[in-house]
A and B are shown apart, each in its own frame.
Chain A
Amino acid sequence: MSEAREFKYVGTRSIRPDGFDKVTGRANYAADLDLPGMIWGRILRSPHAHARITRLDTTRAEALPGVMGVATFKDFPAVSTEEFQSGEGSTALNDLARNILADDKVLYHGHAVCAIAATSEALAEQALDLIDIEYDVLPPVMDVADAMKDDAPLLHEDMFTEGLEEKPSKPSNIALRFELKKGDIEQGFKEADLVIEREFYTPTVHQGYIEPHACTVRYDNAGTSMVYCSTQGHFDVRAATAKLLDMELGKIKVVPSEIGGGFGGKTTIYLEPVAMILSQKSGRPVKMVMDRDEVFMASGPGSATRNWVKIGAKKDGTLVAMQARLCYEAGAFPGSPMRPGVMTVFTPYDIENAFVEGYDVVVNKPKVAAYRAPGAPQSEFACEMLINEIARELDMDPIDLRLKNAAREGTQTLYGPKLKKVGLVECLEAVKASDHYRSALKENQGRGVAAGFWFNIGGPSSVSINMNPDGTAILIEGNPDIGGSRASMQLMAAETLQLPLDDVKPLVGDTDVLAYSGATGGSRTTFATGMATIQAAEDIVRQFKERAASTWNVTPEQVEYANGTVTNTAGDDSMTVAEICAGADRTGGHISGRGNINARGAGPSFAVHLADVECDAETGRCWVVRYTACQDAGKAIHPSYVEGQYQGGAAQGIGWALNEEYIYNEDGRLENPGFLDYRIPLASDLPMIETIIVEVPNDFHPFGVRGVGESGIIPPLAAVGDAVAGAAKINVTELPLSPPRVLKAIAEGASA
């Protein structure tokens, strides 16, 4: 992309095309589909964090009138250890299977053991009570530090640490060690005038989408089986279901419902294969809907971490050495986002000498799933807290310290490529110039600033556009619309087609109507699917010209297209799109366009946030009084939904910083599997969240787009963390900064 371009639709705040259905209750979500003859499935879950199943007898349950099917792990055909790629992570297929239904061991409180289908949900639940099951309870390991100890109870006796130079002789809970280095870390610290190191803790958190996982599945032995579910990637649901059940991919159709939030947590599968087994056994469509406590106990969550970071700086603020040791909980099976945590931790800084090692460690908690910039909030929290501490020690403005060391175009990253054009400096400068940054704080208030980096991804996207005989267009994308992607695609298509916005009707196609599209995740949809949309629209415009040219017996080069009209530069003919489409059967058939791409060049998005927090020193309660989220969007296609991504990411990060955490008792049972005690922010907990959209165009996208979905959850942890430190006058190394933790730190500070 060259100089700034004038847009007609891109950059406007249009009304989303799916809006009417969503404000009237018409839109259908995962739990909203009933089919004729449908029955209900429910799941028996482990009451223990770690146990061997010694007996599982479903005879009495199956005898209950109305029970029509039972599913256990034995119903999975032999499943390989092949890595299955989905969304932003990958999992060995056999681990995926054992997570969906436990094999011989249950590995966390809430782990699914057995499923029953019956003619009503209540009856299925009654039948669960009739399953005879016995456990040999084993000691659980609930913290990454404990799990890494030599004498820790083992979750998997056959797991040996990968990534070591020599294959270890003993099994371990450490699934993987991974490191990245650059320069000479020891020399770097020698050059430093100031060296600070600390260990930070972040808790297990949940994505917290309001819509529980749900699906309706109809098995069809002869034809196509159907899965209707809420997912970020229905093509991946199809592939996973086919692989796990040894079914033909082409004989499964996955129909995506509207999706009631995902944040990464709906890039994997839980219920779908189980419902398929139950449907196969019962000969009926089967509906399964998780209760809220099941969502918390057995889906998501995001990794808890213990991250040690050490940073060396010169007196003038130049950062000379950065080192980290990052330990991520994977939950019951390997696959934490440790690796992206390692890759992102120091990326906001242009640094000579860096060394980062990471560990992926299993514990008796649910298998983690992607959560918005997976892995980055945890590691960057640790780094950003230390950067602020260094700024204080050196008596420097924390934004100036960052500007002095900021990554920019040409910076060699620790994880590989040199950065292309990025907007970190622009974000830092925008925040520094904001009214918020220059405003005064009141007593008992503190202010924190932090930066965040996320790569963003591209990947495969497919879009097709079909022209109706009246000249209107149907756009089919393969990405579930989780926060306004129909609106973005409509804007980009209308811009390229040069047709009125309302003439483009975007919809999300199922797996039978479109070629593969990667999941809605990795901040890829507006970027990659947007590129596919533009390509499909360009394909259409080319055909408009060809059809007109053939009608007028001129070459396509001799016609011009603008604003819905093709004109003949060699004569005075013109045709509207409606006329071309109405006559299309006489010029070669009706018109459709395709965009099938594997998008490269996703531009990273940097974010910088500013938080003001007030503290009630007598109770330790802290709350956000003012907040600014600034981020580089490249080009904001729909500014309102870009702001919405910034605000939503900020709110989730604020929750992570202040109150959200999984609370386990000493037996490893989850104590707060509900919205009552898993405390996500409420309307009354937050102020307005001010936004600053920085636009440093991404040259790899025709309109300059960078994905914006994820970076915004990274800075809040340290921005709020540092603001709490200032407001409460405490040291902050552990999240969440819940009132008891803050009050304890205040008391310890007073007595120290």
Chain B
Amino acid sequence: MKTHVTTTINGEEVEFLCEPHETLLDALRNHVGLTGTKEGCGSGDCGACSVTVDGELVCSCLVLAPEAEGKSIGTIEGIADHDKLHVIQEKFLEHAALQCGICTPGLIVSTKALLEENPNPTEEEARYYLAGNLCRCTGYDKIIRAVLDAAETMKGAA
């Protein structure tokens, strides 16, 4: 039997029907049409499906879709303000911190969570916080530079 879920995604109230076994990732991609959140493993080991639930960074593949009831979900589609990119997004582009781009949505969502929690991370703190976001293309160098530069810029703007 399908479950009816009412939730808030990127500030907008959304309703969907899902099977109770489906994950939040399934629901976002297949029932809400938000395919920016990617599936790399389905087991919490790659971070491509990172979203926030009530502000907490999680893998959406490890959340049951019915758990979204009454919660506030943040996805990659909610990071930019319409056509105005978030500083983190701009820095990822400036630093060429993506090659294929499949890990990028998850990394940007995670980076935003990192900088909200710790606006001034050291390189080591950034690397450990983002250890759950696998990237196979870049060797992480440019990602970490983008993250640290975004932190600097956001501090300057604050």
Residues of A within 8 A of B (CB): 13, 15-16, 18-20, 22-29, 31-32, 34, 122, 207-212, 258-263, 289, 291-292, 482-484, 638, 640-641, 643-644, 647-648, 650-652, 674-676, 680-686, 688-689
Contacts and interface: CB of A to CB of B under 8 A. Distances in A.
B94 A682 contact: no
Interface string B58-94: 0000000000000000011101100001000100111
A683 B93 contact: no
B46 A675 contact: yes
A215 to B, nearest CB: 15
Contacts of B136: 207-210, 261, 263, 648, 651-652, 680
B76 A483 contact: no
Contacts of A681: 139-140
B102 A292 contact: no
B100 A211 contact: yes
B142 A210 contact: no
A25 B76 contact: yes
B134 interface: yes
Contacts of B145: 688
A32 B37 CA distance: 10
4 A-B pairs with the lowest CB-CB distances in the bound complex, closest first: A25-B36, A260-B102, A651-B139, A483-B99
Nearest to A678: B45
B102 A29 contact: yes
Contacts of A259: 100
Given A24-B79, A32-B35, A647-B141, A640 B102 contact: no
Interface string B133-158: 11111111111110000000000000
Interface of B: 19, 21, 29-30, 34-43, 45-46, 48, 75-77, 79-80, 85, 89, 92-96, 98-105, 108, 123-124, 126-128, 130-145
Contact of A674 (B43, B101, B133): B43
B127 A684 contact: yes
B139 A675 contact: no
21 contacts: A24-B85, A24-B89, A25-B35, A31-B39, A212-B40, A263-B136, A292-B43, A292-B46, A482-B100, A640-B142, A641-B96, A652-B136, A674-B41, A675-B40, A682-B132, A682-B134, A683-B126, A683-B131, A684-B124, A685-B131, A688-B123
B3 to A, nearest CB: 14
Given A15-B93, A24-B76, A640-B96, 16 more contacts: A23-B98, A24-B80, A25-B36, A28-B35, A32-B35, A258-B101, A260-B101, A292-B41, A292-B45, A640-B142, A644-B99, A644-B137, A652-B136, A675-B46, A681-B139, A682-B140
A36 B23 CA distance: 23
Contact of B139 (A13, A292, A647): A647
B36 to A, nearest CB: 2
Given A258-B101, A682-B131, A684-B131, A211 B40 contact: yes
A27 B138 contact: no
Nearest to B45: A675
Contacts of B79: 24
B96 A23 contact: no
A32 B77 CA distance: 14
A647 B141 CA distance: 7
Contacts of B35: 25, 28-29, 31-32
Chain B at the A interface: SS class:
loop
A651 B134 CA distance: 12
A264 B48 CA distance: 21
Contacts of B96: 13, 16, 484, 638, 640-641, 643-644
Given A28-B35, A683-B144, A688-B144, A675 B99 contact: no
Contacts of A484: 96, 99
A262 B98 CA distance: 14
Nearest to A712: B139
Nearest to A21: B101
A641 B126 CA distance: 22
B76 A210 contact: no
Contacts of B102: 29, 209-211, 258, 260-261
B130 A683 contact: yes
Contacts of A16: 93, 96
Nearest to B36: A25
Contacts of B76: 24-25
A688 B42 CA distance: 29
B142 A680 contact: no
A269 B37 CA distance: 25
Contacts of B39: 31, 212, 289
B143 A211 contact: no
B1 to A, nearest CB: 13
Given A25-B35, A209-B100, A210-B46, A483 B142 contact: no
Nearest to A289: B39
B138 A22 contact: no
Contacts of A676: 43, 45
